[in-house]
Amino acid sequence: MTTALALALILGWTAYQDSLGVGNFIIQGSLISEAAGASVNAVTVSLYKDGSSVGQTRTDDTGKFRFRGLTKGRYEVVANLERHPPIRELVAMNTQNQVYHVSLFIRTERDPKTTNAATGSTVDLAYLRLPRKAQQEFERALRSSNEGQYEKSVRSLRTVLEQEPNFSPAHNQLGINLYLLGRRQEAAQAFLKATQLDTCYSHAFFNLGKLLNESGDHLGAIEFLRAGLACDFKSALGFFQLGVAYYQLNSLQVAESYLKKALELDFDHTHPIRLELANLYLKRGEMPRAAAQLTAFLQETPEAPQAAQAKKALEQLARAQD
């Protein structure tokens, strides 16, 4: 027996995961990449106080993260990267401010002139090359974006780009803000510019591919998603969006292979991959396999925005199979 069921998936940028404590202070930040093949998605970020671990979270698709419920004191934020040294930033909570902002940059290269002899660490060279005013404006843009003030962030980013038009992270962040404001055509142009300036900026390629998928240009999405995966072959987001594109083009066998690969890489269940697989199995009339994906989705992410819809679809499947 078959039934005409369809799940309307909401494929927006995933909200970052909170690490929640008991105080009233917050650290929120962004991980920004200029290194070829370095993804900012689902990166583990740890928080230490007095040498002891007090929290851990993962970045969202745009590199954002947050720690809540903190008390005053001196903290160290550490982003743990697969093919790069950890990035560390000290945060001293000693004022009345309750929200502290952190920006972590994945550097592109080592240069003896910019290496700290005591620690062996380096700083992001492209960021260092920015004039001081542009650095401050870029930081201001990231803070505004983290606070949901996307128009304000756009204004700051345009100021940065007037001074440094080839700074690709600013174009990518501009695209994210414009997307969140519903200005998709402008967002696509910003993401495209970022990919043109840095031909291995996987984050920008995935953002553009996702946007094209949502706009119905699935062939265009495939082109950019493949380019991004050539630089970051461990991106759950990249494989997920590639699976979505092929599903929409009715290439179900190819879509299934990419979605399964995405599922293998999505350790923290960041993306609704199982819902897309359920859609695929429903389209092929494979009701038990669709039901299994819906059940697993509800077990793994019971608080997901799509949970109620998935539960309803599972109930409909059960009635259809009676």
CATH number at residue 67: 2.60.40.10
Averaged pLDDT for residues 158-163: 95
- 215 lies in some domain: no
* Whole-number pLDDT of residue 26: 87
d(CA 170, CA 15): 21
* Whole-number pLDDT of residue 55: 87
d(CA 58, CA 66): 9
Residues with Cβ within 8 Å of residue 284, at least 6 apart in sequence: 252
- Contact, 96 vs 82, CB < 8 A? no
- Contact, 21 vs 67, CB < 8 A? yes
Task: Find which of 24-28, 79-83, 146-150, 261-265 is predicted with most confidence, using mean pLDDT.
Answer: 261-265
Q: How many domains does the structure of the chain reveal? A: 1
- 71 lies in some domain: yes
**Rg for the chain (alpha carbons), in Å?**
21
The dihedrals phi and psi of 221, each to the nearest 5 degrees, come to -60, -45
Amino acid letter, residue 179? Y
Q: Is the pLDDT of residue 117 over 50?
A: no
Q: Write the pLDDT tens digit of every residue in 199-256.
A: 888 889 999 999 999 999 999 999 999 999 998 888 899 999 999 999 999 999 999 9
- Alpha carbon distances (Å) from 264 to 18, 129, 248, 295: 23, 39, 21, 17
Q: Tokens for 223, please give them.
A: 């082109």
- 164 lies in some domain: no
| Domain, as residue range, for 56 | 21-123
* Whole-number pLDDT of residue 182: 94
Q: Write the pLDDT tens digit of every residue in 36-76.
A: 556 788 888 988 887 778 888 888 877 889 888 888 888 88
* Whole-number pLDDT of residue 295: 96
- 297 lies in some domain: no
Model confidence at 83, pLDDT cuts 50, 70, 90, reads low
d(CA 74, CA 67): 14
- 105 lies in some domain: yes
Q: Is the pLDDT of residue 121 over 50?
A: no
Q: Is the pLDDT of residue 287 over 90?
A: yes
Q: Is the pLDDT of residue 112 over 80?
A: no
- 65 lies in some domain: yes
- 112 lies in some domain: yes
- 259 lies in some domain: no
- Contact, 204 vs 195, CB < 8 A? yes
